[in-house]
Structure 1
Amino acid sequence: MIQLTPANKRYSSKNDWLESNFSFSFGPYYDSDNIQFGPLRVLNDDIIQPGKGFGIHPHREAEIVSIVLNGQLKHEDSLKNVGILQYGNIQRMTAGTGVLHSEFNPTTDEETQLLQLWFLPNEKQLAPSYEDISFDTDKLRNQLLSVVSNNPGENTAMIHQDVTLYLSKLDSQKEVHFQQQEGRKIYLFVIEGEVLLNGDVTLQKRDDARITDLHDLTLHAKQDSFFLLIDLPGGEA
């Protein structure tokens, strides 16, 4: 089954420094039918204005992944990690028993655009930890590139959950195939472009698809496209 959510059906929030689009219940948005998909609990699509951001705030019992699409994101935390992320970087933070951190746009003239995802961990009371990795953006072209996994390789961040996150940039009229074990789930989010799924369902910019009981996918780019695909464990949520 493919459950398609068009971009214009997401809940949006905007103030003078932050524009957020929520794919799942978060903050001011609550829908009892849209809490999570498997262990994927949050996908926020944010734009942060120059010199602005989130001050020190706490997290617990979550695996937090940040993917910068444009601009820069400066991170500081109570583990004494400091870093600046940009396109080509992935950040993974295990909040575990508790961590404090801040995130802001350190530039004076450029918006920061990012995706932030939260996953429920496969184990509670983990020690907080932090990792940021760089990936070769050329390796996204016309293939699926693993950037986060519970079985990581080179240039792949490790996560405490049975998930793998792939990014891909498909040239117009190119396609990739994805297969997974039965009983699992797939989440697909189109960052840019237009993607035809199994010759039947079209996803446009910022649309998502929640896929169950379908484990063999063909993704065809109807125009130059950029997307995130997540291989998730099965379950009731």
Structure 2
Amino acid sequence: MEHIHADSRGAFKNEWLESRHSFSFSEYHDPARMNFSSLRVINEDWVAAKGGFPMHGHRDMEIVTYVMEGALSHKDSLGNGSAIRPGDVQRMSAGRGILHSEFNHSETEAVHLLQIWLLPTVTGIQPGYAQVHFPLEQRRGKLQLLVTPDGRDGSLNINTDTCLYASILAAGETAHWAKPDKRAVYVHVARGSLILNGMTLQAGDALAIPEATPLELAFSSDSTAEFLVFDLPIARE
């Protein structure tokens, strides 16, 4: 298991955006941090009031947006428009090409979010968009399934061999999850401090588990922790 520390991430800042890159992105390049299995990008972004990303394009990427604070307004070339708030999860399949913009229309409040890119199973598909609200209470004290290849249990379906879970643990709470055999796992701490199999992870830290052997994962916290768990194919070399 590799403990990846928050302060090892790439960084970017301008007048309206502060960002931390878990993997190589834009001007940040680290050959050792190109991807983990099909997980290509985790960007932790703080978008200032009245700031945002103007219309821009993506291709052949599965993009998941997970908002922790504030409201992010989305528009795309398919005609979709929405606001993404805490509890909402958005999936955009870029496919053979899509344009979108993301803005924070608040006059005073920043938006804090994670944007996640996953390599697709099939390229050149019709682009698509979906958004689901998962009440925060559903992930308190347990792992809530958010994204799957088949859309089971009310999750968002996605064009990649990945299952994404999220959980919020209060102080003293514990959750258990059995890592599937012949799968890789990546745990990202969104907020707070998480204890995973006796190892303490802080906000922005991650744990990469590439091995194929099954493993019982025990999560706990001495404060409040919010974290994501990615169930992935065995990591590519």
Task: State the TM bucket, normalised to the shorter chain.
Answer: over 0.9
Report deviation, 1:153.
3.2
Judge conservation of contact 1:134–1:155 (CA < 8 Å) in 2: no
After superposing the two structures, state which structure 1 stretch, 214-223 or 50-59, moved more. Answer: 214-223
After the TM superposition, which residues 142-153 of structure 1 pair with which residues of structure 2 at under 5 Å, given as runs?
Answer: 142-153=141-152
Deviates more, 1:113-122 or 1:188-197: 188-197
Letter in structure 2 aligned against 1:96? G
What's the Cα RMSD here?
1.2
Contact 2:145 2:153 in 1 (8 A): no
In 2, Cα distance between equivalents of 1:71 and 1:153: 28
CA offset digits 1:28-54 (Å, max 9, x no partner):
100111100000000000000111111
Alignment-derived partner of residue 180 in structure 2: 181
Q: Report whether the alignment pairs 1:208 with 2:213.
A: no
Q: If the length of structure 1 is used for normalisation, what is the TM-score?
A: 0.96
C-alpha distance in structure 1 between counterparts of 2:151 and 2:207, whole Å: 25
Aligned length: 235
Equivalents in 2 of 1:136, 1:146: separation in Å? 12
CA distance in 2, matches of 1:109, 1:135: 26
The one-letter amino acid paired with 1:185 is A
Match of 1:49 in 2: 48
Note the residue ranges of structure 1 that are not aligned, 5 or more in a row.
none
Q: CA deviation at 1:222?
A: 2.5
Say yes or no: does 1:21 pair with 2:33: no
Looking at structure 1, the residues matched to 99 and 88 of structure 2 have their Cα atoms a distance apart, in angstroms, of 21
Equivalent residue of 1:121, what SS? coil
Distance 1:103 1:50 in 2: 12
TM superposition shift of 1:225:
1.1
Q: Which runs of 5+ in 2 are unaligned?
A: none
Query: 1:129, CA displacement in angstroms?
Result: 0.3
Give the TM-score taking structure 2 as reference length.
0.96
Corresponding residue number in structure 1 for 2:233: 233
Deviation digits for residues 138-174 of structure 1 (CA, Å, limit 9, x no counterpart): 1111000011111223542111111111110112122
Q: Write the mapping of 1:20-99 to structure 2, written as runs, cut at 5 A.
A: 20-99=19-98
Tell me by how many angstroms 1:180 deviates. 2.9
Partner Cα distance (2:235, 2:8) in 1: 25
